[in-house]
Amino acid sequence: MPSVITLAGVNFDPDLPNRLLAIAGEIREAGGRAFLVGGWVRDALLGKDCRDYDVEVYDLTQDELVPILKKYGRTNLVGKAFGVIHLAMKGLSLDFSFPRTESKVGYGHRGFVVHTDEKLSFKEAALRRDFTINAMGMELPELTLCDPYGGIDDLKKGLLRHVGPAFVEDSLRILRGVQFASRFALTLAPETVELCKTLSLADLSIERLFEEFKKWLLKPGKPSLGLRAFLDIRLNEFFPEVYPLRESWDDLGEMLDNMECLRRTLAGVGGEGAECMMLSDAQSMEFAFAAFLCGNPDTSLQFLERITNETHLLKNVPQLLKSYSGLEFAIVDDAPSLRRLAVTLGGLKLLCLLVKATPRKFYAEAGDAEFPEKLWQAAASLNLLESAPQPYLMGKMLMDLGIKPGKQMGEIIKQSFELQLDGKIKNAEEAIAWAKVQTKERL
């Protein structure tokens, strides 16, 4: 099995399917060359496994390649116009493409004419890619590196640099630069910053925008570096709904890094009770976007409506931020208020995490540096982290007492729940006893 020398100078044995190596061998025997390209190469050089195998085939035509692939599985020309062949095998799927050039002829990300040419050199084909760190290839089966635009040097320098003039043909690359800066701890090259400033995101669909923001805020990395790229490109002018945290972009960056650290910690929790501590995908998304938009809760919905149709985000993030901005220290000793807040939010875990992510100096300056931990402990002691209190008194119980469904039943349940939130009714038995008294008074 071939190995890779990482940027750290150590041998790394990447996860490479034997079937892929066999296919590459047959391609070579037929006079062609097969290169792993894109993210797989970048990740391998960083010592990370990647299961996204994109293979670019040179010096073979489609008619010559397809018979080779059919020996291994089912082929599908899903991207015939773009020179892409999908190979489906048991437990594995691979994409094979041909070197190509692209010409911008229309508006949006579909406004391209693609020309495939198996005789192009790797350097010529790589010229259409976005950043130098994504313009590298490794020839199979030996994994011989081909790096025509200095991607390795840029990775070593922590630099994100565009490949060439074709960069401007897809404005999404601006946001790709932001999320790559975060995920791989990179800084945008000055010339790339200036080029990005000349582009606009106005032609992009909300679906494409949303995917890049998710990668920035949800994939492991250092989100503050993404924020730095966001600001360098002046995307805050395109998204004026995004505000600094208490007039400080650095503090917002710290908030985002704290958010990522907390999410990573929760994801790695083990032992008894670990499952309840982990965040669902929806909760992770809400936490991340709430942290990003915490500078101004009033504009959070406007921003989200520009980039997504996700109902849970549109509903929950603004409410979470409203509760976050209105918190007072005294709430940790106010069980009724905590219970009511849990009812509003469906549980207090995300609110507590947002407080924990806030730069600690804010609470220290306000007089209680331990407030984040106190809030968490108070919510945990009342079993409010995961969910809101549910009414002890139910309609069936009242029906058993002779109360028919209707307005009166609803009023009794509501009053009982308010007493429950106040701590004056502590269990179902007390709720039924209280309801019996109310029933006698009302009959």
94 and 37 assigned to the same domain: yes
Mean pLDDT of 34-54: 93
Residue 166 lies in a domain: no
Which residue among 389, 405, 430 closes a domain?
389
- How high is the mean pLDDT of the chain? 91
Residue 107 has pLDDT above 60, yes or no: no
Residue 310 lies in a domain: yes
Select from 172, 328, 320 the least CA-distant residue to 259: 320
In the prediction, which pLDDT does 149 show? 97
- Per residue in 127-183, pLDDT (tens digit) is 999 999 999 999 999 999 999 999 999 999 999 999 999 999 999 999 999 999 999
413 and 278 assigned to the same domain: no
Residue 204 lies in a domain: no
Mean pLDDT of 282-294: 97
Query: What are the distances in angstroms from CA 324 to CA 80, 317, 329, 349?
Result: 51, 10, 12, 12
Contact 57, 32 (CB under 8 A): yes
385 and 416 assigned to the same domain: no
Residue 196 lies in a domain: no
Which residue among 108, 130, 154 closes a domain?
154
Residue 113: band (very low, low, confident or very high) from pLDDT cuts 50, 70, 90: low
Select from 340, 320, 338 the least CA-distant residue to 378: 338
Q: How far apart are CA 282 and CA 29, in angstroms?
A: 48
Residue 233 lies in a domain: no
41 and 68 assigned to the same domain: yes
Q: What is the DSSP string of 86-152?
A: EEEETTEEEEEE--EEEEE-SSSTT-EEEEE-TTS-HHHHHTTSSBGGGS-EEEETTTEEE-TT-HH
- Per residue in 338-372, pLDDT (tens digit) is 999 999 999 999 999 999 999 999 999 999 999 99
Residue 178 lies in a domain: no
Largest CA distance in the chain: 94
300 and 415 assigned to the same domain: no
Residue 46 lies in a domain: yes
Contact 429, 440 (CB under 8 A): no
10 and 148 assigned to the same domain: yes
Is the model more confident about 224 or about 397? 224
Our count of domains for the chain comes to: 3
| Total residues belonging to the chain | 443
Contact 203, 167 (CB under 8 A): no
Residue 246 lies in a domain: no
293 and 413 assigned to the same domain: no
370 and 407 assigned to the same domain: no
Q: What are the start-end ranges of the H helices in 5-83?
A: 18-29, 39-45, 62-70
Mean pLDDT of 395-422: 88
pTM: 0.90
Identify the weakest region by mean pLDDT among 249-253, 265-269, 380-384: 265-269
Contact 62, 99 (CB under 8 A): no
Contact 299, 241 (CB under 8 A): yes
* Structural domain span for residue 271: 265-389
DSSP state of 403: P
Mean pLDDT of 266-277: 55
pLDDT-above-90 percentage for the chain: 79
Which residue among 154, 182, 208 closes a domain?
154
10 and 147 assigned to the same domain: yes
51 and 96 assigned to the same domain: yes
Strand partners, 162: 131
- Per residue in 237-248, pLDDT (tens digit) is 999 999 999 999
Residue 270: band (very low, low, confident or very high) from pLDDT cuts 50, 70, 90: very low
In the prediction, which pLDDT does 118 show? 80
150 and 290 assigned to the same domain: no
- Which residue in the block uniquely carries the two structure tokens 């995490």? 353
Q: What contacts 250, CB < 8 A, 6 or more positions away?
A: none
For residue 186, the one-letter residue type is L
80 and 113 assigned to the same domain: yes
Residue 59 has pLDDT above 60, yes or no: yes
In the prediction, which pLDDT does 87 show? 93
